[in-house]
Structure 1
Amino acid sequence: MPRTALLLTGLPGSGKTVFSEVARSLGIPVITLGDVVREEVARRGLEPSQENILHIAQELRDRYGKEAIAMLASNKIIEFLKQSCLVVVDGIRSLEEVNYIKSSTNAEVFIVVVHASPKVRFARLLARGRSGDPKTWDEFVKRDFKELSWGLGNVVALADKIMVNEGSIEEFKNKVRDFLSEVMSRWCILELK
């Protein structure tokens, strides 16, 4: 039976978390790569500040390669793929992560980009107030460029689906629900028989 890893990417504040929440509500397992980094920050006893999160993410990539975060999450991805025809991997940042997941899981991969303009994303990040989120425009721009330096733009260039998220949260939830319902009916039909 075919298994698919839906690889979710987009810059901070674009709506990846909302996408993942909708996926979970539909019973689709979700692995969030940012949580892998936040867990490592906590394991080291560090404050979960933006600076520490970016530093640890960079350190892991420098030490183990651009696929480092996907490597740390791969066992969980494989376990979820044993249970479900579709798994969402939230927070892909490089083609190396895409290729690592593809080769280590033997799953089909489908790249989804969530896009929103910088001003919209910055306003969302200020409103959500998650630990590690930028508090100033300069921090926001610095974080974007750091994530782009990891290769996120290359992943975006190879996207199978781009979802623009400039409207309300409810509008986006409906878009995601419709998309995932279509995906499940197309890719998971074998599980229903």
Structure 2
Amino acid sequence: MLLVGLLGEKRSGKGTFVNFLMQRVKPKSMGRVRSVDVLYETLKIWGIDATRMNLIKLAVAMDGAYGKGTLTEAVRQRIAKDNSDIVIFDGVRWPTDEKLIRSFEKNLIVYVTAGAKTRWLRGLTAGEKVGEDKTTFEKFLEEEGAKTEEFISGIGSRADFKIVNEGSLEDYKKEVQKFCEKFL
């Protein structure tokens, strides 16, 4: 199995990367494990809205209460259950995530990034998280300073492949194709 760690700031295009990649890897099988799904499921069980701030608070609280890498361990367990040829770990955020990825014999880290203004505008229409469509640019920038975001650029500097997603959807597809040609 090839484990691909997918790293990027919020709304940088990680989900779109996965969708494009799924179209290109056939006949190989591809699985996807999102760290945020562990958080979504927990908040849902508790009856708490999955706002970006609630997701951030939960991730930080898990590490604070149970030790660094708690969320990473949950992801590791999900990866271990996936029998796909390629598994995408979508939502790499922590040094423990990077360590997990690099512990696999066949591994890659992909960093998808874009400017803050571009990502904020995408968030206004994406509707993935509760209240995201009403977030002001100032609030968006404030969230950029959250504990869950602080390691992204550092891990990104060690990525095997980087995409700056500032152009059109077609430009982005071409970058994903370059990734496929180089690594798959």
Please classify the TM superposition score into its range, dividing by the shorter chain length. 0.7 to 0.9
Cα drift, residue 173 of structure 1: 2.4
Q: Distance in 1 between matches of 2:43 and 2:61?
A: 11
Structure 1 residue ranges (4+ consecutive) displaced by more than 6 angstroms after TM superposition: none
Deviation per residue, 1:73-114 (Å, 9 max, x gap) = 21221222x431x211111002211113444xx333211100
Q: Distance in 2 between matches of 1:66 and 1:169?
A: 37
Cα drift, residue 144 of structure 1: 1.3
TM-score (norm 2): 0.85
> Corresponding residue for 1:117?
115
Report the residue type matching 1:148 in the other structure.
E
Q: Distance in 2 between matches of 1:111 and 1:168?
A: 23
> Corresponding residue for 2:127?
129
Count of paired positions: 177
Matches within 5 A, 1:1-193: 3-25=1-23, 26=25, 27-80=29-82, 82-84=83-85, 86-103=86-103, 106-132=104-130, 133=132, 135-146=135-146, 147-149=148-150, 151-184=151-184
Instruction: Quickly say closer, same or farther: Cα 1:60–1:24, change in 2 above 3 A.
Output: farther
Q: Which runs of 5+ in 1 are unaligned?
A: 185-193
Instruction: Quickly say closer, same or farther: Cα 1:109–1:64, change in 2 above 3 A.
Output: farther
Question: Structure 1 vs Structure 2: percent identity of aligned residues?
Answer: 25
Q: Distance in 1 between matches of 2:101 and 2:175?
A: 26
Cα drift, residue 181 of structure 1: 4.6
Q: Which runs of 5+ in 2 are unaligned?
A: none
Moved more, 47-56 or 22-31: 22-31
